[in-house]
Structure 1
Amino acid sequence: MRRGVTVVELMMAVLIGAILAVAVTRLLSGGMRISQKGAAHLTTVQNAGILLSRIERDLERAVQADPGPGGSMILRLLSPAGEVAASYRPAAGGLGVTRTVTGSGAEAGDEGEGHTFARGLPTVLRWRRATVEGSVGFFVTVTVSSGPEGGETHTLERFILCRNDPATRARLTTGWTW
């Protein structure tokens, strides 16, 4: 009786081992792809939400809002320390949106270069003015993609009422004395 392993048996063992290795590798790489896709989704949703929240805060304080070309916007805001001008402009190459604040009432850290939201991510900002029963507001659309080559795209749209706009304030505070 022969003892040992024949070449055919050895080849079969190597083949079965290779098949198992490929199956395990595919299983693990599939999990990594799903994890990366989930992280990209979270990044786009979070960046769009943060930018839209900041825009909402500024529009609610705006006494004047002037949309500009290419998704830019210039706002005149009231703050406890005075009047402030805030602008939103697409960052270089459309990779983010830069908010710059100037004026005597600017909060600490707001003046100067400004802050870029969704930095490094393709971002599109759209503003559409709307007058509802004499009150002024804007439909704001924020679209953020997960990478320079496009990737996953997330869009948020919200109607924001400009509560400090003179026409809106007069409508909301009918009968009040200032």
Structure 2
Amino acid sequence: MNSEMFGTLPDGTMYTKRRNLWNKPIDAAKLVTYKGYECEKWSCKIGTYIFSSIDALPIVGPVGRETHFTVSFDYILVRRQVGTTNVMNESYNDGYIYSKWFGSIKLSGSALLLSNQDDWSHLKYTFCFNVDKGQATRMWFYPAYLRDIDADLYIRNIMITYGDEDYPYTPAPEIDETVVLTEGAG
């Protein structure tokens, strides 16, 4: 078995490391071409917030202690103005047990989205849920969370995987049924 491709969860089940957990298809209403690439455009205004998220727990299954995940994507953030309270432009992750947040989230890498860059930036960071308060009931991934800023975020190639590797973008099998990750694949 290829240990580079496969791993074992704390409960003993096998998983494919490269499997993209971001199974939310592109929102056709937000699809644009920007700087030569098809991407989604997320817009935010002062006093409001916007984010796109998924609950990955149905895909991930039981989350054991210190389970690591990596979030990566390409983006351009055009920020025009900043509000006066609760300003936020970063990636964000959270987990719940019976509507209460669980554990602590340790980051490796920056989750801050840099603004007004001329070209696409690649953001990659790894975090782990330290599940010390019971079994998770929800596990949210927010690749980008914008709050109280006037900005447009162009985002593409969202990838969420197990472990701490930054793999090349592959759509989730739920989005593209031609995606098959097999043993030995790079």
TM over 0.5: no
User: Which one has a larger percent helix, Structure 1 or Structure 2?
Assistant: 1
**TM-score category, normalised to shorter length:** under 0.3
Between 1 and 2, higher relative CO (CA 8 Å, sep ≥ 6) is seen in 2
Q: TM-score, normalised by structure 1?
A: 0.27
Q: Larger Cα Rg: Structure 1 or Structure 2?
A: 1
TM-score (normalised: structure 2): 0.27
- Greater strand content: 2
